[in-house]
Amino acid sequence: MWRQFGLRYQAYNFALQQRFGVRVQKVSIDAGFTCPNVDGTVARGGCTFCDNRSFSPSRRLPRADILGQIDQSIERLRIRYQNCSHYLAYFQPATNTYAPVEKLRPLYELALSHPQVVGLAIGTRSDCVPDDVLDLLEELAARTYVSVEYGMQTMHNRSLEWMNRGHDHDSFLDAVERSRPRGFEICAHAILGLPGESHEDMLATARELARVNIGAVKIHNLYCVKNTKLAEQVEAGEVELISRDEYVRTVVDFLELLPPTMVVERISGDAPPDYFVGPSWCLDKPAVKRAIEAEFERRDTWQGKNWHPD
């Protein structure tokens, strides 16, 4: 359907518009969670690239309660999206299923009680979704839109080990298979430009995503923020961050391999300047988007052109 509108890939805003019939935006919520590779359960220090304050607006502000955070985010978004009145409550920083069901249920229900919230997006890890948590998510998905975002990052275990992820790719596959029949959207995060990964390695991750065939994907380049292990590695010259030209080419190659049914929730990433180290090009997200769209046009290609279903 999206190609009938002249689109080269199935962008998230388009998919939400088709689903809800109106514009829908995400509002970030910080429910105070941590991660098992921060608290010592599987590792310490968190992922090599991670400072949650750089990824989520809610971690850079004094934290109100759940409904207060939603109201604050809506007020900020009104400046840019004046006609938007429908929102997804996005439990974003850290691991948002990393708690007993007795704690999770009231947090999710409180967010859904906001009159302008039409669904949930929940960021988590594949090793933090026991069956009782999936049962809860299935229950919620029976009455509202729910998207569960798993941090796949890459299919290559050597890269997961480099980033101190604390789990392997099989963990992601297990979580997807246990999630698949439960009625919520499954989204995977993928990072391009990880050290030691060749162009073909990155495309192998795309082929794996196509094989697993989940509902949505978020793609961004490896970028560096302050006060992280990655920042030390970049400063020491141990890690070279991907160039814009290479990233643009790789994103288009990546999307060509994904099924046309898969929603593309994100095609680049950035961080607030106060936290940011590099690469500088990714701070201009509109320019990156234009460059990716121009590459699609130059090749006269589209998402799924090189996808081969089994």
Q: If you compute the radius of gyration of the chain from its CA atoms, what whole number of angstroms results?
A: 19
79 vs 267, residue with greater confidence: 267
- pLDDT > 90? residue 211: yes
For residue 213, give Cα distances in angstroms to 148, 170, 171, 173, 186. Answer: 15, 15, 16, 11, 9
Is the peptide bond between 279 and the residue preceding it cis, with omega within 30 degrees of 0? yes
Element (H, E) at 134: helix 131-141
Q: Which residues of 52-80 are buried (b: 16+ CB within 10 A; e: fewer)?
A: bbbbbbbbbeeeeebeebbebbbeeeeee
Model's pTM, two decimal places? 0.94
- pLDDT > 80? residue 54: no
Rounded to 5 degrees, φ, ψ at 226 are -65, 160
Residue 296: partners with Cβ closer than 8 Å, 6 or more residues away: 8, 9, 252, 302
At 140-165, the pLDDT tens digits run 999 999 999 999 999 999 999 999 99
- pLDDT > 70? residue 60: no
86 burial level (CB within 10 Å; 0-12, 13-18, 19+): middle
Q: Which of 40-44, 89-93, 243-247, 266-270 has the lowest mean pLDDT?
A: 40-44
The distance between the two most distant Cα atoms of the chain, rounded to a whole number of Å, is 52
At 90-118, the pLDDT tens digits run 999 999 999 999 999 999 999 999 999 99
The two tokens of residue 291 are 């460059």
Q: Which of 4-13, 17-26, 55-64, 252-261 has the lowest mean pLDDT?
A: 55-64
- pLDDT > 90? residue 251: yes
What's the pLDDT score for residue 58? 47
| Distance (Å, whole) CA 214 – CA 185 | 8
Tell me the residue ranges of DSSP E strands in 30-116: 86-91
What's the pLDDT score for residue 52? 54
The ranges assigned to domains in the chain are 2-299
How would you list the strands of the sheet with 216-221, edge to edge?
Answer: 24-29, 86-91, 117-124, 145-153, 185-192, 216-221, 263-266
Strand 86-91 with 117-124, pairing:
parallel
Q: Is CATH 2.160.20.10 the right assignment for the domain spanning 2-299?
A: no
70 closest CA partner among 124, 22, 115:
115
At 31-46, the pLDDT tens digits run 999 999 999 999 888 8
183 closest CA partner among 152, 140, 153:
140
In this prediction, residues 12-35 reach a mean pLDDT of 96
- pLDDT > 80? residue 28: yes
